[in-house]
Amino acid sequence: MIEIKPYIEHAVLVGLITPSQPEEKTKEYLDELAFLADTHGIVPVKRFTQRLDQPNTSTYVGEGKLEEIRQYIVAREQNQSVSPKDGLYSVSETVCTPIDIVIFDDELSPRQIRNLEKELNKKVPSPEGRSGGVSSPVRVIDRTILILEIFLQRAQTSYAKTQVEMAHLQYMLPRLTRMWSHLDRQRGGGGTNRGMGETQIEADKRVIGQRIALLREQLKTIDKQMATQRQHRGKMVRVALVGYTNVGKSTIMNLLSKSDVFAENKLFATLDTTVRKVTIENLPFLLSDTVGFIRKLPHHLVESFKSTLDEVREADLLIHVVDISHPNFEEQYEVVEQTVNEIITSPQPSPQERESKKDRKPWERVSSLEGRRGGGSIPRIVVFNKIDNFTYTPKEEDDLTPVTRENYSLADLEKTWMARLGEDCIFISARNKENIDALRALMYDRIKAIHVKRYPYNDFLFQNYEE
């Protein structure tokens, strides 16, 4: 039996070095973009960067850099490689795989996508008379489209699939290109007075607009169902795991709830919100695992994941998980904090939320969600995970250069963050189950305080009876 292996796409990554985004930051963003590509099953083979004050409005990069990218793609297509000395092309000894995709680190406008595809796929005759273009079209995408495709690939439940599909269609609607040609010469009317009729792009927009309207109605129905589900669990204390993508939220979820939530060392391994009932000692509560955040995450995509947003809004306690082993974990921490604060202080609740609140009993209407709509804050515990992967470079005694992030030990960071956050932070290793008992004890104290405040006369769980 012949085994058919799936075709693996190869990509080129493109980023800009700007006054607001220095070279180190651009390199970090491209590393993250390469991780996203690997998560989607795409192999990045080359990176291109250019210094510009701002992105080119027509082609994102300059003409020279765009031509360099095109020549590299043509060389790969013709099994050539770039000489490091003179930049000329020479025949490679090894077989080169062609480039299928060019991924840009920032969001591209419809005009930029159209111009980039035209320039990268154009055929220019060579001096020898051969065609200098590529045989198969090269696809141009940006970080947003890549994230959307990952979401489409990893969504499991009908709710997540519907959310992702609508976000994808909303993003692609203004970026439609020629999808077919059978409407090129369509004309309207009858007899001799025929109008121009419906153009191809107009038909595409109409079809996608109808699909978006259908998905929106489906989401309204699902939102009502999920609001009803949240109603039934309104009396229990709710705890939500939040954090940057790939920091170990699902692993911590499995440890605390003894469940089997999918966890993998890839970005956006979890897209579907998982809620489990957890009991620490004699105190039950609800623990939610939410989708991870990322830098440059499209705002409309965040809004489409209403289930995750609702779990964060309605949480009584947030467990903010941070990957302490990441070189720029401080920036990841700030990105998540900013995103969470925007979610908490979001505008008025939706009509579905208002309807669900009307059916609640008076003692159930005093929820954390209603009390925080004015811009309040949700108590949180910061969990620094992956201490087993933490590394640092100690400074020598005679080294008088300024101390950098790489020179701080784990003990130094513990002192710094303990001084900043007090007792609301803890350092653990979920993989090695290190300090997990301390995390449970800290969560128990915080959840107990919330429970006692909410039910001041229901203290039978915490009384010490003497026999």
Interval 27-60: pLDDT, tens? 988 988 998 888 888 999 999 999 999 999 999 9
Question: Can you give the pLDDT at residue 165?
Answer: 79
Lowest mean pLDDT of 183-192, 305-314, 378-387, name the range.
183-192
Residue 443 is inside which H or E element, if any?
helix 436-454
Question: Can you give the pLDDT at residue 197?
Answer: 55
Q: How sure is the predictor about 103, in pLDDT bands with cuts at 50, 70 and 90?
A: very high
> What distance lies between CA 388 and its chain's CA centroid?
25
Reference 100, options 31, 164, 9; nearest CA is 9
Third-level CATH fold of 233-454:
Rossmann fold (3.40.50)
Question: Can you give the pLDDT at residue 140?
Answer: 92
Averaged pLDDT for residues 49-73: 92
Q: Is the pLDDT of residue 159 over 80?
A: no
Q: Where are the domains of the chain?
A: 10-147, 155-177+200-231, 233-454
> Which percentage of the chain shows pLDDT scores above 90?
19
Same fold, 10-147 and 233-454: yes
SS3 455: coil
CA dihedral for 8, 9, 10, 12, sign (positive or negative): negative
Averaged pLDDT for residues 277-284: 86
Question: Can you give the pLDDT at residue 191?
Answer: 52
Q: How sure is the predictor about 137, in pLDDT bands with cuts at 50, 70 and 90?
A: confident
Lowest mean pLDDT of 43-57, 175-189, 231-245, name the range.
175-189
Winning range, highest mean pLDDT, from 96-105, 117-126, 290-299? 96-105
Q: How sure is the predictor about 247, in pLDDT bands with cuts at 50, 70 and 90?
A: confident
Averaged pLDDT for residues 57-86: 79
Averaged pLDDT for residues 161-184: 67
Reference 255, options 417, 59, 438, 391; nearest CA is 438
Q: Is the pLDDT of residue 88 over 50?
A: no
What are the tokens at 392?
């640092």
Say which residue, 373 or 33, is predicted with more confidence.
33
Q: How sure is the predictor about 268, in pLDDT bands with cuts at 50, 70 and 90?
A: low
Q: How sure is the predictor about 369, in pLDDT bands with cuts at 50, 70 and 90?
A: very low
Say which residue, 192 or 164, is predicted with more confidence.
164
> How many Cβ atoms sit within 10 Å of the Cβ of residue 191?
5
Question: Can you give the pLDDT at residue 336?
Answer: 86
Reference 110, options 205, 211, 207; nearest CA is 205
When the candidates are 1.10.260.40, 3.40.50.11060, 3.40.50.720, 3.40.718.10, the CATH number that belongs to 10-147 is: 3.40.50.11060
Q: How sure is the predictor about 95, in pLDDT bands with cuts at 50, 70 and 90?
A: low
Reference 293, options 250, 263, 337; nearest CA is 337
> How many Cβ atoms sit within 10 Å of the Cβ of residue 182?
8
Residue type at position 262: F
Averaged pLDDT for residues 161-176: 76
Say which residue, 244 or 274, is predicted with more confidence.
244
